[in-house]
Structure 1
Amino acid sequence: MDMLMFQLERNSSKPMYEQLCEGIKKGITEGTIPTESKLPSKRKLAEFLNISQTTIELAYAQLLAEGFIASKPRVGYFVEAVEELAYVEKNIQYPAIPTSLSRETFNIDFNPGQIDTESFPFHLWRKYAKEAIDEQSQELLLIGSPQGEQELREEIATYLYQSRGVICAPNQIVIGSGTEQLMPMIIRLLGPSSRFAIENPGYPLTHHIFKQTDRPAIPINVDDEGLLINDLEHSKANVVYVTPSHQFPTGAVLSAPRRAQLLNWASQKNDRYIIEDDYDSEFRYIGKPIAALQGMDKSDSVIYISTFSKSLMPSLRIAYFVLPPKLVEVYNQAFNYYTSTVPRFEQHILAQFMRDGHFAKHLNRMRKIYRKKLEKLTMALEPFSPTVKISGEQAGMHIVLTISHTKSAAELKDLAQEKGIRIIPIQEYMMDPILNGKPTQFLLGFGGIKDEEISQSVQQLMEAWGIRA
């Protein structure tokens, strides 16, 4: 390929690297940029389009992260095979219609479920709480909509479309008190004949939910491109639970070819569904957030689920799922007796908080805070390389440590615990914990570690393991 021609709006509010990135993605998905073709060098394309090489570099980095292109060292960037991937247009209209851990106290807690509690905007939350708890809010004392407050569902629909490319109307949204309450509803909604597949390793809570509902899930392995879709295709599952934007716990991003393959798998039969858990998509530190599968879905096969646990606070107990239009009536019939499990006052407070723009501001602030923590963490770990390697640092509030050590993961966990440090081996997130020949890996959550304590916490962990810089 000699050169790429794109119309870039220099006065647009959208950064030029995003415009370029979207133009290249559209060309790839529509076939005008052929598979395996080589993209122009950053220097040549920058000269041709009369823009900076930094703009080209940012666009290529985002395309690389999403799996649309591949990099060959000292050769260049090449287009990946992406089958038929739906492209999310910005002018689409709405359609008509934590891990199980002990309660023991630790001096240092690398639990991936922790957040930065010191940065929560208590003064703003207090303001909206005081306004809500007033005689003018008497209607909030009564039972509200089974699906959750209309005003909150409207705010969530707007937020999801603007930030994640999720296309939905408020009546497709169901609000509940956490994933552990919503997932059994989804399982029941999909009927007793459904067979479920789940990522391995994956989110332990969903493992327990499937067991408790007598619906054993089929484990499907993941690699550095996410779920192995070929393995899913050869399984007997017709529903799959995935975390495509930031796989838990490995941190892998489901590549563009696999996203297309997964959506195509779901579209082949009417009873196939994808449960997309977008648990921490707000916190991505390289490029912009990876687009949600739901916005690319052409066959109404994606059930999108997320929560405010990471973005606001775990104790808020507000989560939600977005049903494809064809399941809304099924839901209404199956749960016509249902009463929302989230107090109306809290829903009202959150809706006003989002309506006035404070949620978006809070996310921007927390993204900067967590990025700074991540930078300090990677710097603190750098002296211990190559004994300690990190991965999964592109997004979220945890990274994966790969350790070269004579001791097993269980032994290293015990050594850390003896020093008052909690850190969890990745084996504990697997349905089959036997990992013969697999590397020793741990999840290191940094959200709850104070900024000024990161370096010392890493040093104490390495000392507990006998690893020297």
Structure 2
Amino acid sequence: MDMLIFELERNSEKPLYEQLYLGIKNAIISKRIEVGTKLPSKRKLADFLNISQTTIEIAYAQLLAEGYIASVPRVGYFVETIDDLPYVEKATKIESIQPVLKQSFRIDFHPGTIDLDGFPFSTWRKYAKILFDEQYKELLLTGHPQGEEELRTEISKYLFQSRGVITSPEQIVIGSGTEQLLPMIIRLFDHIDGYAIENPGYKTVNRILKQNGRAVFPITVDEEGMQISDLEQTTANIVYVTPSHQFPTGAVLSATRRSQLLNWAALQENRYIIEDDYDSEFRYLGKPISSLQGLDKNEKVIYMSTFTKSLMPSLRVAYFVLPKSLLSKYNKTFTYYNATVPRFDQHILANFMKDGHFAKHLNRMRKIYKKKHDHMTEIIEANYPSISISGEHTGMNILISFSHHLSEIELKEMAAKKGIGVYAISDYMVKQVESTEPKFLLGFGGLSLDEIEQAIHELMQIWGITRANPSN
């Protein structure tokens, strides 16, 4: 029994049977006990090690279950043939990899930041408190795979009233963001390889398409939005656009190009448009821009939007609206699917919308963001006439451009060193386009009204842009 002499620590937190099991197992793996060797009987080994037979029995049972030994009735236990397994005498030190953290800034002009003080906490808390009660215990179970019908119904009403989107709850699919919903849409078109996207545009969309093995065609954006003539020169069958407020330039797709885009999609059966209407709620001048989906007569537009800007990014509620012609294919493709947004969150949002609080919240936030937008543009126009502003009157950021001897990268780094976050247009380029002057997005959502003026002056001072009215 020399081969089974193990150091068993009786005062260890690890049970004796586990110590014995590991000792025999490691001896088998390291070939210290040869294949075919008969192990001692439970009684003999118990006497030898001065432990109970039950301890031996449990250890042998575990080795038997894992295939290290075999039992021959009325004969005993024998070591089995084991393929070479990795055997580590001691734990290998694994190098710790620190996640890449988003840089924090003293002043942040990020275009995706919302006004945190404007959120209706008390109202939201009221709806949450009502739902977290035993009478709603069915919400603990898995709900409808496309999302709760109550929420889809409210979204359907809202879209028709505010965006002219013609839909029914059956056409709406709720998910936890573009990162989760866009791959679902891609799955519906497994036979289609080519996708056109805006340049500059959402880089996340480009990454998702590339990760799903799709060919990407970046299409240049000008002051009228995506250049449809360039799209027509590609072999793309699906195009991803932000027509109501192009990100990041702020351009609105002109009426002529809207018609051209819809006509392009109608020319072939397998052509579709993905319309991302990410922040259409915040338009400060004139009537809201009509959605492409509302203009489409051929069921060629898949409409997408989110509550990220209108409520909060952390809610993780987004949705798409499928043409009725794609519903059958969707249901066949995603028979296994379950909605990724918690049911409680969906019902809180549905009730919040049903009772009119969402509309009130949007009206209140529209006024707050308009004040910030107007204040930022007025400061720049009054004090820095050399700076051009575009993409205004919509959304939560403006786009500025100006002449400078330094590059966008150098200007961005210069601001970052002083604790100010600014975002260059080149950051959003899928395919780099020659630019004669630096262009930056200045988001105002996360800045208070009182912070904006000082933040602008401080940024311009860092960049060495002279103030026209320093006494003001």
Q: TM-score when scaled to structure 2?
A: 0.77
Q: Is 1:445 matched with 2:440? A: no
State which structure, 1 or 2, has the greater radius of gyration over its C-alpha atoms: 2
5 Å-filtered alignment, 1:395-414, equals: 395-414=394-413
5 Å-filtered alignment, 1:168-207, equals: 168-207=167-206
Once the two structures are superposed, residues 358-408 of structure 1 have per-residue CA deviations (whole angstroms, 9 ceiling, x without a partner) of: 000000000000000011101221244332111101200011010211100
For 2:337, the equivalent position in structure 1 comes to 338
- Partners of 2:384 and 2:466 within 8 A in 1: no
Once the two structures are superposed, residues 159-209 of structure 1 have per-residue CA deviations (whole angstroms, 9 ceiling, x without a partner) of: 000000000010000000001100000111122333100000001111111
For 1:156, the equivalent position in structure 2 comes to 155
**Following the alignment from structure 1 to structure 2, what is the Cα–Cα distance between the partners of residues 200 and 422?**
22
Q: Is 1:134 matched with 2:151? A: no
**Following the alignment from structure 1 to structure 2, what is the Cα–Cα distance between the partners of residues 437 and 265?**
29
For 2:94, the equivalent position in structure 1 comes to none
For 2:249, the equivalent position in structure 1 comes to 250
Structure 1 residue identity aligned to 2:393: Q
Q: Is 1:165 matched with 2:138? A: no
What's the CA shift for 1:153?
0.2
- Partners of 2:244 and 2:290 within 8 A in 1: yes
Once the two structures are superposed, residues 48-106 of structure 1 have per-residue CA deviations (whole angstroms, 9 ceiling, x without a partner) of: xxxxxxxxxxxxxxxxxxxxxxxxxxxxxxxxxxxxxxxxxxxxxxxxxxxxx951110
**Following the alignment from structure 1 to structure 2, what is the Cα–Cα distance between the partners of residues 437 and 123?**
48
Q: TM-score when scaled to structure 1?
A: 0.77
What's the CA shift for 1:216?
3.1
SS in 2 for 1:210: helix
Q: What are structure 2's unaligned runs of at least 5 residues?
A: 1-99, 468-472
For 1:299, the equivalent position in structure 2 comes to 298
For 2:285, the equivalent position in structure 1 comes to 286
**Following the alignment from structure 1 to structure 2, what is the Cα–Cα distance between the partners of residues 129 and 109?**
31
RMSD of aligned Cα (Å): 1.0
- Partners of 2:108 and 2:420 within 8 A in 1: yes
Once the two structures are superposed, residues 393-424 of structure 1 have per-residue CA deviations (whole angstroms, 9 ceiling, x without a partner) of: 12000110102111000000011001100001
For 1:214, the equivalent position in structure 2 comes to 213
Q: Is 1:144 matched with 2:124? A: no
What's the CA shift for 1:437?
4.1
SS in 2 for 1:287: coil
SS in 2 for 1:197: strand
**Following the alignment from structure 2 to structure 1, what is the Cα–Cα distance between the partners of residues 414 and 209?**
32
SS in 2 for 1:298: coil
For 1:355, the equivalent position in structure 2 comes to 354
Structure 2 residue identity aligned to 1:201: P
**Following the alignment from structure 2 to structure 1, what is the Cα–Cα distance between the partners of residues 437 and 228?**
23
Which deviates more, 333-342 or 209-218?
Answer: 209-218
SS in 2 for 1:217: strand
For 1:270, the equivalent position in structure 2 comes to 269
**Following the alignment from structure 1 to structure 2, what is the Cα–Cα distance between the partners of residues 141 and 399?**
43
**Following the alignment from structure 2 to structure 1, what is the Cα–Cα distance between the partners of residues 341 and 364?**
27
Structure 2 residue identity aligned to 1:466: G
**Following the alignment from structure 2 to structure 1, what is the Cα–Cα distance between the partners of residues 219 and 427?**
16
For 1:454, the equivalent position in structure 2 comes to 452
5 Å-filtered alignment, 1:83-122, equals: 103-122=102-121
**Following the alignment from structure 1 to structure 2, what is the Cα–Cα distance between the partners of residues 309 and 289?**
19
**Following the alignment from structure 1 to structure 2, what is the Cα–Cα distance between the partners of residues 193 and 313?**
34
For 2:41, the equivalent position in structure 1 comes to none
SS in 2 for 1:326: helix
**Following the alignment from structure 1 to structure 2, what is the Cα–Cα distance between the partners of residues 422 and 288?**
32
**Following the alignment from structure 1 to structure 2, what is the Cα–Cα distance between the partners of residues 102 and 419?**
18
Once the two structures are superposed, residues 289-328 of structure 1 have per-residue CA deviations (whole angstroms, 9 ceiling, x without a partner) of: 1000001101100000000000000000000000000001
**Following the alignment from structure 1 to structure 2, what is the Cα–Cα distance between the partners of residues 294 and 352?**
26
Structure 2 residue identity aligned to 1:446: F
Q: 1:464 aligns with which of 462, 465, 472?
A: 462
The structure-2 alpha-carbon separation of the partners of 1:437 and 1:453, relative to structure 1 and needing over 3 Å to count, comes to closer
- Partners of 1:387 and 1:405 within 8 A in 2: no
Once the two structures are superposed, residues 311-359 of structure 1 have per-residue CA deviations (whole angstroms, 9 ceiling, x without a partner) of: 0000000000000000011000000000110000000000000000000
Which deviates more, 210-219 or 161-170?
Answer: 210-219
- Partners of 1:384 and 1:467 within 8 A in 2: no
Q: What are structure 1's unaligned runs of at least 5 residues?
A: 1-100
For 1:94, the equivalent position in structure 2 comes to none
Structure 2 residue identity aligned to 1:414: E
For 1:58, the equivalent position in structure 2 comes to none
